[in-house]
Structure 1
Amino acid sequence: MKTAFAGLGVMGFPMAGHLARAGHEVGVFNRSPDKARRWVEAHGGRAGATVGEACDGAELVALCVGDDGDVRQVVPQALAVMAPGGIIVDHTTTSAKVAREMAALAAESGRAFLDAPVSGGQAGAENGQLTIMVGGDPAAYDRAEPVISAYAKAVRRMGGAGTGQLTKMCNQIAIAGLVQGVAEAVHFAKRAELDTDAVLAAISKGAAQSWQMENRWPTMAEGRFDFGFAVDWMRKDLGIALDEARSNGARIAVTALVDQFYAEVQAMGGNRWDTSSLVARLEREG
């Protein structure tokens, strides 16, 4: 399929690479042109100086940009030049409101828009092992799913426009509580003068087991946070979820509390630290 990919950050760069390796024709765009040039050097394809150049004639355009504003800016430019009946697959984490707006805009031009946020982080993108939750038209999903499976281990349609983003909010709500729980357990183990490696081995195969525990406990114990999903991005995601909760009446008090804990981490200079840096706040408090 003739495809395009806009947004070549730590997620988008490897995701677009998987498309190329799967045999799709790929045009790329990034606001920093050097990243697009480096991608072409690594994978072939072509780089566009504008969104329009990268997406011209594309049957499927994937996005992995920053926020609602970025999506609102990029989508109209892509729709103007895509192939008739083309599909935009937005992997950005945004509000459900913007997903519904973009789906309506795409439909006006005879094209489709799928909100398709991802979970799995940089490692999942690099290894083609992302989980993708999708909202939008079922026929468009059926056409897009074989293409985006190039960088996913699991793809699931959740319902109509916006439901992919709402599912991602559930994901981030769950992660916020999990990371805080693991951080407190690591902190407690240290204060109790236990061997943190031994504690992990003892509890990680029972009811306390989680991806966060198995993958972040050791680095939490070591105080290493220069990797992974940045606190700034987590706060953006939690802000979206909190806004939606105010709208739908959901009570997510723990999420609101953890969001404030992340604000404290930012005040410590941890804006770009991994989300597991919640433990640094506990260590600081002594």
Structure 2
Amino acid sequence: MAKVAFLGLGVMGYPMAGHLKAKGHDVTVYNRNPSKAQAWVAQHGGVSSPTPADAAKGQEIVFCCVGNDDDLRAVTTAENGAFSGMEKGAVFVDHTTASANVARELEAAAKAAGFGFIDAPVSGGQAGAENGVLTVMCGGEAGTYAKVEPVIASFARMCKLMGPAGSGQLTKMVNQICIAGTVQGLSEGIHFAKRSGLDVEAMLEVISKGAAGSWQMDNRGKTMNIGKFDYGFAVDWMRKDLGIVLDEARRNGAQLPVTALVDQFYAEVQKLGGQRWDTSSLIARLEE
């Protein structure tokens, strides 16, 4: 069992930290809003700390899951950030979906201070976090990764080292590219089926068993059909992620015409008031 800290107790971090405690790890938590940390301690045990630096002191592994690059810097290298409290030989594991550049920046800072860094964004959404079945894509050094993989297994069903620092974030970008195209295709398919007078549920049952089948179809097809979007991964978060993807594509020269188009479609969903709707709400703009 490891001594660990977890920074950021949002819809993902709260249950992830809970799985660490349930597996017997010694867990200290930090959250920007301390009442959330107090609620977590009341539910799971462990202790909370007032700053990331305090939370990181004496820990073998410090996990983090916050909002974006700026939030990540605020809890790592800013005043009272975790990096000022970490000990040599420890490892910082970042589960934030952020840029590859910030991953490389923080890995360099960690290495200079004598501890390790792994960028480890996740896929599986809130349900995956709550059920402990996330997919984790990692970037960093193999020896550092080996130290943390067994502990990450507390909340993951798949965890893999993809390459050097930033590779986890790049893999997560590919994940979001694929999701964006799949959800748009599924939205158009359901919309077409409705206009054609088909029984949509029967249609989904049939084609889900063939080459068109996908996780999105199995888990979101029926709810898209009835216009239910009040759960899952929010449109605002997806637009943040696609912004990171498109920024990286401008740097590396990748051509992403469908991803750029779907990003604009999500902007239309935001204008419909769907900022917090699930990403499957792409269909809503077709049915206006």
TM-score normalised per structure 1: 0.98
| Identity %, equivalent residues | 62
The 5 A counterparts of 1:137-216 are: 137-216=141-220
The 5 A counterparts of 1:53-202 are: 53-76=54-77, 77-202=81-206
Q: Cα deviations across residues 128-158 of structure 1 (Å, max 9, x unaligned)? A: 1000000001111000000011000000000
**Offset at 1:53?**
2.1
Unaligned 5+ residue runs, structure 2?
none
**Offset at 1:273?**
0.4
2:228 alignment partner in structure 1: 224
- The whole-number CA distance in structure 1 between the counterparts of 2:239 and 2:69 is 14
CA contact (8 A) 2:54 2:82 kept: no
Q: Cα deviations across residues 31-58 of structure 1 (Å, max 9, x unaligned)? A: 1111111110111000111112222211
Task: Look up the SS of the partner of 1:153 in the other structure.
Answer: strand
Matching of residue 242 in structure 1 with residue 246 in structure 2 = yes
- The whole-number CA distance in structure 1 between the counterparts of 2:143 and 2:76 is 20
The 5 A counterparts of 1:262-273 are: 262-273=266-277
Name the stretch that deviates more: 145-154 or 185-194. 185-194
- The whole-number CA distance in structure 2 between the counterparts of 1:112 and 1:138 is 11
CA contact (8 A) 1:79 1:111 kept: no
Matched AA of 1:98: V
Name the stretch that deviates more: 144-153 or 50-59. 50-59
CA contact (8 A) 1:46 1:54 kept: no
Unaligned 5+ residue runs, structure 1?
none
Instruction: From 264, 279, 282, give the equivalent of 1:260.
Output: 264
Task: Look up the SS of the partner of 2:287 in the other structure.
Answer: helix
Q: Cα deviations across residues 243-265 of structure 1 (Å, max 9, x unaligned)? A: 11111110010000000000000
**Offset at 1:281?**
0.6
Matching of residue 19 in structure 1 with residue 52 in structure 2 = no
Matched AA of 2:229: F
- The whole-number CA distance in structure 2 between the counterparts of 1:83 and 1:25 is 17
- The whole-number CA distance in structure 1 between the counterparts of 2:229 and 2:34 is 28
Number of aligned residue pairs: give it.
284
Task: Look up the SS of the partner of 1:62 in the other structure.
Answer: strand
- The whole-number CA distance in structure 1 between the counterparts of 2:28 and 2:53 is 10
Matched AA of 1:22: K
Q: Cα deviations across residues 131-187 of structure 1 (Å, max 9, x unaligned)? A: 000000111100000001100000000000000000000000000000001111111
